[in-house]
A and B are shown apart, each in its own frame.
Chain A
């Protein structure tokens, strides 16, 4: 007799607009408060204190245009946010400051979330969709120098890049980029050569979101259709479809694999969050709380395993926090 699905641990209300992106920062010093950053459609970034469950500060840096991507760069006082005002802002939040120290003008009006990767101490690579339709640009931060521009070959007809993921197998290996495009294909790019290593058509509709497990060399992508596609990367750096999984309702907005690589969560257009086991993509739970499409899911980075959380932000202005499968 299976247990009924769990209820959310708590709900964060007060964003006042649809929540498009979430990011946890719970791995700090002893006295640091576990924090959740949320970016909403009204351009505000709310910094939630997970102990008091209230907003500590609200950051307004995107001119009231929707914030749709956020990352922390190392510590929690360095935040990167991407908004529809075509800017990627770098924030300095230490000691109560809330100022934008720097920004990158992307000239891109799409919705593609940027991807961040730390390659060395204080050096980051950031991949973002650039001005031209099909291009992806990789910048080094904080110097903002361009590392490469990834242009698909003529006639490839990939469409806009929809989602990006920078990764490297270990800290001294080559960084690679996985990009999901509008035509439903996922492409693996080599940054140093600026070339595409492999292209896999895994969806009929645009790839909405993807995530990659570099350990197992396997990734998962979701689209606006009913299929989740799991693909693997073999030694020759070729992408192959490993498995597909059919969902009950169409549309996935976000997929994320938990840092311990045991489970993954998908945010669906049908208002539901689905949890799967990552090993065999076994469906584990369907979390039904939200009343509108769920835009983003994010796992926390708590050091202690039992405190780990899953957050989901939805169009119904609420963020639900769940504690699920924390004992493994």
Chain B
């Protein structure tokens, strides 16, 4: 104590040892001792400083490095070294340039120590700023980014971040502009790089710089994936001794950075759990033992597909497929509409289809089967009248048909004739009324009543028309389709009525059918008004009536009288008088007989009607100048 001893020898020794690579051994003993000694004792501090100062320059680097590495903290280093870095040029060079820029193998603690050391004294702080600038310059140089190893760049980034954390607000304020410039340049170089690591580092550093220089206002924000490196870098911004009044940048980072790590994991888990809560909440709402329903969107009504083509229909109807009754039913229901929609297709198969329909029997208890069949038959007949009429009329006189079937034929012929003779505009309404005025199955006098009313109406309308003139609007006219085919409907029916077959004898037992035939002929006659064949038809009919006029069955006789009425109404008056005068006279006398002597009231009435008609006819003709 009190001696002014020279430590230079010790320094020499120290330096020599360190240079020879024995830093560790000697400093591992020395530094802790010195740390302890210099803790509170100023004298020891000065001794320490002297010690280091006296180390010859050529060995100073080794010693300094050793100290920096060994020192447990920046403040210890500060105690040990004092302002050496300011006083000693070599020291300064080592500390501010060499360690930071020329070497990059040191750990983060070393950097922390060093830079912390620089920050702890006001004299040294200037150096710190300079250091930062140098670092940024290197960081921002594109050649450095391209050519220096990533480890070095990482090292520099770390150093920058530590500096940033150590610097105070005003200091940063002072060099703001430079910082900004360097940052911009640096960011550009870093983002250009192909290595994602470099890019990330650049982004982190830039963000940090930006956050420090723009504490208020928008900061630079990058989106990058967090990894250990970035996290480590960011953690450097926080200094454990909160000497600087900067708020923990780490928190700021979290708010401002692109994808903070913790919220990311949070996001991922909700996404994964989204399925489960959805289902669970469903189940909870229903509180049904959390049984999750399956997709039931395929559960629809079973509908049998009706056939779309006529040939398919035919197949279904003729098929032995007794299994698919649903399909059969669907086919029956849809047949009429198919026929009407596809006249061309129907014409190809018309006769066959008519045959199928004629023989079609009810397989299941289908509502309205009879009507459906009849309508389909009418549809076929109207679509392709000539061949189908030929077929039907021939079948009428064929063997092995039931009475029901023969009468069906007649009904169908009349309905079809009605449809064909009706102008198209009226047909639509006729269809709906056809449902109600459909010829009944029962062989009652119903059908004759229908026609009677029609005939009566016609008579009335005819007489009235003379009195009142044309009070009705002219309906839209179109060609009479029945014209072409009337003969085909009519004449074949007349041809074979007197030829008995084994199962069918019109003139014998089957007078029911005969009655229906006669009524049918009357209807056809009536509908044949304005056709070309009407006169021929009239003649033939009159002959037919003449043969049968004394038939015993009153239904037949009524039919015959309706025939006369139809004839008188349909055949133009001139033709009647010119071509059929004798027959008419004979008929007139017969009618007079009927009026007086016929036992059946209806017959008498009808005969009277006919006589009236004939009278009217004569009057009409006599008024017209010949």
Measured in the bound complex, the distance between the Cα atoms of B299 and A271 in whole Å is 11
Q: Which residues of B come within 8 Å of A, CB atoms?
A: 286-296, 298-302
The 4 closest A-B pairs by CB, nearest first: A2-B295, A285-B294, A286-B299, A277-B288
Contact: B296 with A283, CB < 8 Å?
Answer: yes
List of A residues within 8 angstroms of B300 by Cβ: 248
Answer whether A248 and B294 are a contact pair too, CB < 8 Å, given A279-B288, A279-B289.
no
Question: A272 an interface residue at 8 Å Cβ cutoff?
Answer: yes
Shortest C-beta distance, A253 to chain B (Å), equals 15
Closest to B300 in A: A248
Partner of A3, one of B286, B287, B291, B294: B294
Contact: B294 with A277, CB < 8 Å?
Answer: no
Shortest C-beta distance, A315 to chain B (Å), equals 11
Measured in the bound complex, the distance between the Cα atoms of B295 and A283 in whole Å is 10
Answer whether A285 and B296 are a contact pair too, CB < 8 Å, given A262-B289, A328-B289.
yes
List of B residues within 8 angstroms of A5 by Cβ: 294-296, 298
Contact: B295 with A3, CB < 8 Å?
Answer: yes
Contact: B291 with A328, CB < 8 Å?
Answer: yes
List of A residues within 8 angstroms of B287 by Cβ: 279-280
What are 24 A-B contacts with C-beta separation under 8 Å? A2-B292, A2-B294, A2-B296, A3-B292, A3-B295, A4-B294, A5-B294, A5-B295, A249-B301, A249-B302, A263-B291, A270-B302, A277-B286, A279-B288, A280-B287, A282-B291, A283-B293, A284-B293, A284-B294, A286-B294, A286-B296, A286-B298, A288-B299, A325-B291
Measured in the bound complex, the distance between the Cα atoms of B302 and A271 in whole Å is 9
List of A residues within 8 angstroms of B298 by Cβ: 5, 286, 288
Interface of B, secondary structure class, is loop
Measured in the bound complex, the distance between the Cα atoms of B300 and A279 in whole Å is 24
Question: A28 an interface residue at 8 Å Cβ cutoff?
Answer: no
Shortest C-beta distance, B273 to chain A (Å), equals 16
List of A residues within 8 angstroms of B295 by Cβ: 2-5
Contact: B291 with A280, CB < 8 Å?
Answer: no
List of A residues within 8 angstroms of B294 by Cβ: 2-6, 284-286
A193-223 with Cβ < 8 A to chain B: none
Contact: B296 with A282, CB < 8 Å?
Answer: no
Shortest C-beta distance, B601 to chain A (Å), equals 50
Shortest C-beta distance, B272 to chain A (Å), equals 15
Measured in the bound complex, the distance between the Cα atoms of B293 and A3 in whole Å is 8
Shortest C-beta distance, B287 to chain A (Å), equals 8
Known: A5-B295, A248-B300, A328-B291. 14 other contacts (CB 8 A): A2-B295, A3-B292, A5-B296, A249-B301, A249-B302, A270-B302, A272-B299, A277-B291, A282-B291, A285-B296, A286-B294, A286-B298, A288-B298, A328-B290
Closest to B323 in A: A292
Closest to B290 in A: A328
Closest to B286 in A: A282
Closest to B303 in A: A249
Measured in the bound complex, the distance between the Cα atoms of B439 and A59 in whole Å is 60
List of B residues within 8 angstroms of A288 by Cβ: 298-299
Shortest C-beta distance, A274 to chain B (Å), equals 8
List of A residues within 8 angstroms of B291 by Cβ: 262-263, 277, 282, 284, 325, 328
Closest to B296 in A: A286
Name which of B286, B292, B299, B300 has the most chain A CB atoms within 10 A of its CB. B299
Shortest C-beta distance, B426 to chain A (Å), equals 42
Closest to A3 in B: B294
Measured in the bound complex, the distance between the Cα atoms of B298 and A2 in whole Å is 12
Measured in the bound complex, the distance between the Cα atoms of B290 and A288 in whole Å is 23
List of B residues within 8 angstroms of A279 by Cβ: 287-289
Partner of A2, one of B289, B290, B293: B293
Shortest C-beta distance, B431 to chain A (Å), equals 32
Measured in the bound complex, the distance between the Cα atoms of B286 and A2 in whole Å is 15
Contact: B290 with A280, CB < 8 Å?
Answer: no
Measured in the bound complex, the distance between the Cα atoms of B300 and A169 in whole Å is 39
A267-308 with Cβ < 8 A to chain B: 270-272, 277, 279-280, 282-286, 288
List of B residues within 8 angstroms of A249 by Cβ: 301-302
Measured in the bound complex, the distance between the Cα atoms of B290 and A283 in whole Å is 13
Measured in the bound complex, the distance between the Cα atoms of B279 and A3 in whole Å is 11
